Structure 1
Amino acid sequence: GSYVRVNPISNRIEIGPDSAGARIGVCYPEGNVDTPTLSDCNVVLGYLNPYNFLGGDVTLDKDRAYQAIEEQIAAPLGLDVYEAAEGVLELFEDHLRNEVYARIYGKGYSPEDYRLFSYGGGGPLHVAGYTNGLNFQDVLVPAWAAGFSAFGCACADFEYRNDRTVNVPIASPELAPAQFEAGFDFFAGAVNQAWQSLQGGLYSEFAKSGIPADQVKFGHYLRVQYVGQLNDVEIKAPFSQISSPEDVKLIIQLFEDAYAKIYSRSASSPELGYLATTAVLKGVTDVEKPRLPVEPLAEAAPPPEASKGTRPVYRHGEWREAHIYDMEKLLPGNKLPGVSVIESPSTTFVVPLGFEAYLDEHRIFHLKEVRP
């Protein structure tokens, strides 16, 4: 977990950038950590079970975490320990939400067009907090969340990417047709040569992995900006080389569309002209994809053997009894309303009040907000 400190000058909470890593936090005495971490906050607030970490192979010390948060965070801020710990997690989730927002909208997309996968040992702890209000089509948590990164690496297509700086300008075909026509040959030649020159390096990279050239497919991209501006936008060209002025006009239109999504249509500045800064070539080869097992659906109510009782958790300034479930004993078709904490030896999935988790036939949880 990332370290949590109070800046002595600004008196503000700072999270990270350094982390305790595998040493967890103050709650793990053998880790020799003196600074509280996000994990310590989760233990104190009841979200992490100190007796089920790594399936019980590691026991966490809640009292040590409490004392560290009290001395280093709560007291300097004049807060109750639980208020301080919750404030840390709210700040952390706000940071994550802003990062997700910036990365998606910064590329001209919208969360409403996508589904978000939350995975890792700690991701499902906070997923409801950092996705709340972003309106993803769906939020998914695989039951094998802790191993999902490795799963993705094992079944993802092989891809390599090379790029080359070109910095070649082209005028607006509508506002300066004569200059556009005069500059077409130079623009097309520079981009085509860059794309062609990048192929050899990609073939070599695939060959190192034992993949023959005839199995490699290429995607051609350009990074484009208005002349004089600082930020470019990457667009995918729907062709492998520029053959006509119409191809360049299409590139310009694709850039304008992407730019408008990021900065709004009113920010369009075609009078400045366009600059292709970088030619990008991506090589990809398909790999055999796994087929996820399909299990029969059970009723919505979890089976009794999946219940581990209840545990108090602190949220929004009050304690609530959370239903605790054994992730491996839940059945596809089960629905778990908040407040629920779903535990496995390698991850913890929190379903807050106002949310519901549904386990599908592939053992993937779907988290959604529910309104009374």
Structure 2
Amino acid sequence: MFEIIIDTGGTFTDGVLIDEKQRIGVAKSETDPADPAKSILGCIERLAEERNLSLQELLRDTTTVTIGTTLPTNCILEEKGAKCCLIHTKGFRDIYELGRTIPKADIYNLKVQAPRVLIPRHLRFGVEERIQYDGQVVTPLNEKDVMEAVRKAKKNHVEVPVICFLHSYINPAHEERAAEMIKTEFPDAVVSSRILRRWIEYDRLSTASFAAYVKPLLTRFVQTLQRRLNEANFKGTLLFSTGLGDVTTAELSLENPGSVIGSGLATGALMGRFLAQLCGFENVITYDMGGTSLDIGVLQGQVIATTTESIIGDQKNAIESMDIISIGAGGGSIAWTDRLGVLRVGPASAGADPGPACYGKGGQLPTVTDADVALGYIPTDYFLGGTIRLDQSLAEKAINEKIAKPSGMDTIEAAYSIASLEEAVMGERVFLSVVEKGYDPREFVLVVGGGAGPVHAIAMAKRLGMKKVYIPKHSAVFSAFGGVVADYGYVLNRFLYRRDDEADVEQVKALYDSMEKEAVAIFGRQGIREKDMAVVRGAEMRYFGQLRDIDVTLPETRAGKPFTKGTLKELVASFHQRHQALYGWADPALPATMALLKLRAIGRRRPFKLAKRPLSSKNPSAALKRKRRVYFKELGGFVETPCYDGDRLRHGNVIASPAIIEEKKTTVVVPPGAKVTVDAYENYVVTFSTKPMKPQPKKKSGKRSK
């Protein structure tokens, strides 16, 4: 039996196949943005070919297909979602505008444009009702107002209404009643308290709006994919990754579409943690560079940071997700010059169609991949294992016409400038991502993913003074591979807002019990029994008088374990310890406020292990494939560089620099000053020489000007 994990990116769709003996197969195919389901089936077909099976034969014996997708995020950023309206408490029409939406990067700019909202004012309909902060009904729901809102919604051709009333996080009765009343006309209406049980109105509204905005598109995608899989003989379970790195059924993902936002990014961080635990790395930075973007995760102490402050476009997604930074820096990032003639790279990408100029599909703009081809980093005859042949002359032509000539450079100088600037931009973002959290990047191991990652990661890490880089053999499908180690999961919240010295243990216990009961029901729908569940209890807490909460969690425990007075004391003690670790001080004598109780339910899947390989010799000559000219500025230009076949490298082999490792799905560029050792899992451990490099005489010409 097989398990398939797919990650659909902006440029490529990546696939991983795991069999009963945990043997690994990987595949990449170009993404069709107009039909992502087609791209997924195409990728699965390539996985089948690797096993000499037909698509139908593979899917017949597949138990689960797990999907990580950027579709909801792209839908929001490209403003291609559904037409929505808001049914709100009368008098609170402007929650969007009053929310915390001032961009942090430009907080003092008085001329900054107002943030764009998903639901304009003329599509916000007030309803007379009021529930106060403690859940008591002050004003009953006016059902005539609800039906009037429905009439207006239909008149304006609304697809999905969002129902968001004040204080529904503590008492959702009015929201539920309104949803019941309108379900005949709008069966897909989004109820804010079902999406997020948080006490900040703007957070709940903005998050529910995202869910409504992407729901029709995601529904069509899921239905199309499920139908095509079924037609291809698939009888297993279709799963989706979530933004927190869990997996959930397609049915549950459609009930809360917001949970799927950021799913591909989260699984990359999971793979980073898995490798950190496997190799004993205490601190790692995940660096996943694909065709369109670079995703950065910081794991201090092997812990993946989470956030409820994700910004997509101009609004906030407050569903808890992994804290991953994404920037527009990938292999397809387009090089251009601004009005002052200064070279820029990205954030716009050539995508898969037309793609970089070297693809020969009509692309006219130079990209990072074109620069890599011109410099000899990427082999033109072995891109994706030779399935796509690249045209070096087209790459050089685009660079020459758009960058070199206008800037007064020769073609190779311009290509190097593009690649070097991309590395500088990525290095700056990696550096800031770490130091903003109070850490030193030199104390971290860079774990590399993505098809373009191994091309630039070593040079970038060298710039930052990092000591070690770890490149998995299957780094090209890094995020998809992360789905292999993902478990079933679901996060639930309950509002409390009580000081620890005033908290009633029975009230706290009742809230945790209600969340656990709900989690058992949710997991039951996915075929997971209570005895196979684990739970992690936690809270968002602050010292009384503070404005910001911090996340506190207790150790994982079995479902059904009683919550006692001792458990409450342990939770409060954990808060003081966490505050001390974050801010350097704590005072157990001060009262702590428990703003929000949290419970994360976990359903374990089959554990995954990488097989160790026997130790071979240090000499990698058996894997030497050829030599070709590659540009290294430190060595004066193009030099004959040994190229190794990644499939023939063995545990213990040591590769001196400069060198190229040609994998089927990616290329590892080993610049001068670096050394690569193949570890027991046949992954690549990169270290750096402390000896100063001897400069070589500058060669007269390495130009290929057009």
Contact 1:108/1:258 (CA < 8 Å) preserved in 2? Answer: no
> What residue is the counterpart of 1:325 in the other structure?
644
1:252 to 552, 575, 580: 575
Cα drift, residue 354 of structure 1: 0.8
Alignment of 1:102-181 (within 5 A): 102-104=432-434, 115-132=445-462, 138-154=468-484, 156-164=485-493, 166=495, 168=497, 170=499, 181=501
CA spacing shift, 1:95–1:11, aligned 2, 3 Å: closer
Cα drift, residue 340 of structure 1: 0.8
Contact 1:121/1:347 (CA < 8 Å) preserved in 2? Answer: yes
CA distance in 2, matches of 1:23, 1:341: 27
Contact 2:357/2:367 (CA < 8 Å) preserved in 1? Answer: yes
Cα drift, residue 210 of structure 1: 2.1
CA distance in 2, matches of 1:189, 1:98: 50
Is 1:301 the equivalent of 2:619?
yes
| Letter of the 2:684 counterpart | F
With 192-201 and 116-125 compared, the bigger mean Cα shift is at 192-201
With 302-311 and 192-201 compared, the bigger mean Cα shift is at 192-201
> What residue is the counterpart of 2:687 in the other structure?
368
> What residue is the counterpart of 1:185 in the other structure?
503
> What residue is the counterpart of 2:356 in the other structure?
25
CA spacing shift, 1:66–1:133, aligned 2, 3 Å: closer
| Letter of the 1:257 counterpart | Q
1:338 to 651, 657, 673: 657
Cα drift, residue 256 of structure 1: 1.4
Cα drift, residue 104 of structure 1: 4.7
C-alpha offsets along residues 282-340 of structure 1, whole Å, 9 cap, x if unaligned? 22233333443333222212124523123222435831422211111222211112111
3-state SS, counterpart of residue 55 of structure 1 = helix
| Letter of the 2:659 counterpart | S
| Letter of the 1:5 counterpart | W
1:311 to 622, 629, 632: 629
Contact 2:632/2:638 (CA < 8 Å) preserved in 1? Answer: yes
CA distance in 2, matches of 1:319, 1:282: 54
Alignment of 1:208-357 (within 5 A): 208-225=525-542, 232-238=549-555, 241=563, 243=565, 246-247=569-570, 249-260=572-583, 265=584, 276-316=594-634, 318-321=636-639, 322-357=641-676
Contact 1:82/1:314 (CA < 8 Å) preserved in 2? Answer: no
Query: 5+ residue gaps in structure 2?
Result: 1-331, 558-562, 692-706
The count of aligned residue pairs is 353
CA distance in 2, matches of 1:111, 1:141: 17
CA spacing shift, 1:257–1:99, aligned 2, 3 Å: farther
CA distance in 1, matches of 2:401, 2:496: 55
Cα drift, residue 126 of structure 1: 1.6
> What residue is the counterpart of 2:35 in the other structure?
none
CA spacing shift, 1:231–1:97, aligned 2, 3 Å: farther
Is 1:46 the equivalent of 2:376?
yes
C-alpha offsets along residues 108-146 of structure 1, whole Å, 9 cap, x if unaligned? 666567544322322211221333366767432222323
| Letter of the 1:68 counterpart | A
Is 1:58 the equivalent of 2:58?
no
| Letter of the 1:160 counterpart | G
> What residue is the counterpart of 2:167 in the other structure?
none
3-state SS, counterpart of residue 358 of structure 2 = coil
CA distance in 2, matches of 1:139, 1:208: 42
CA distance in 1, matches of 2:550, 2:384: 43
Alignment of 1:62-101 (within 5 A): 62-101=392-431
CA distance in 1, matches of 2:364, 2:554: 53
CA distance in 2, matches of 1:95, 1:233: 31
Contact 1:235/1:254 (CA < 8 Å) preserved in 2? Answer: no
With 308-317 and 233-242 compared, the bigger mean Cα shift is at 233-242
With 103-112 and 158-167 compared, the bigger mean Cα shift is at 103-112
CA spacing shift, 1:310–1:210, aligned 2, 3 Å: same
CA distance in 2, matches of 1:63, 1:363: 35
C-alpha offsets along residues 156-203 of structure 1, whole Å, 9 cap, x if unaligned? 141424243637264xxxxxxxxx63xx316x6776555444334433
Contact 1:3/1:37 (CA < 8 Å) preserved in 2? Answer: yes
CA distance in 1, matches of 2:642, 2:538: 50
| Letter of the 1:253 counterpart | H
C-alpha offsets along residues 39-86 of structure 1, whole Å, 9 cap, x if unaligned? 111111210111211222322111221222223233444444333333
Cα drift, residue 152 of structure 1: 3.0
CA distance in 2, matches of 1:18, 1:138: 30
> What residue is the counterpart of 1:173 in the other structure?
none
CA distance in 2, matches of 1:18, 1:230: 40
Contact 2:553/2:571 (CA < 8 Å) preserved in 1? Answer: no
3-state SS, counterpart of residue 118 of structure 1 = strand
Identity fraction in percent: 24
Cα drift, residue 26 of structure 1: 0.8
CA spacing shift, 1:166–1:341, aligned 2, 3 Å: same
| Letter of the 1:251 counterpart | S
CA spacing shift, 1:133–1:48, aligned 2, 3 Å: closer
Contact 2:542/2:550 (CA < 8 Å) preserved in 1? Answer: yes
Query: 5+ residue gaps in structure 1?
Result: 171-179
CA distance in 2, matches of 1:190, 1:104: 40
3-state SS, counterpart of residue 132 of structure 1 = helix
Cα drift, residue 217 of structure 1: 0.8
Contact 2:622/2:648 (CA < 8 Å) preserved in 1? Answer: no
Contact 1:305/1:329 (CA < 8 Å) preserved in 2? Answer: yes
CA distance in 2, matches of 1:243, 1:140: 45
| Letter of the 2:644 counterpart | Y
| Letter of the 1:334 counterpart | N
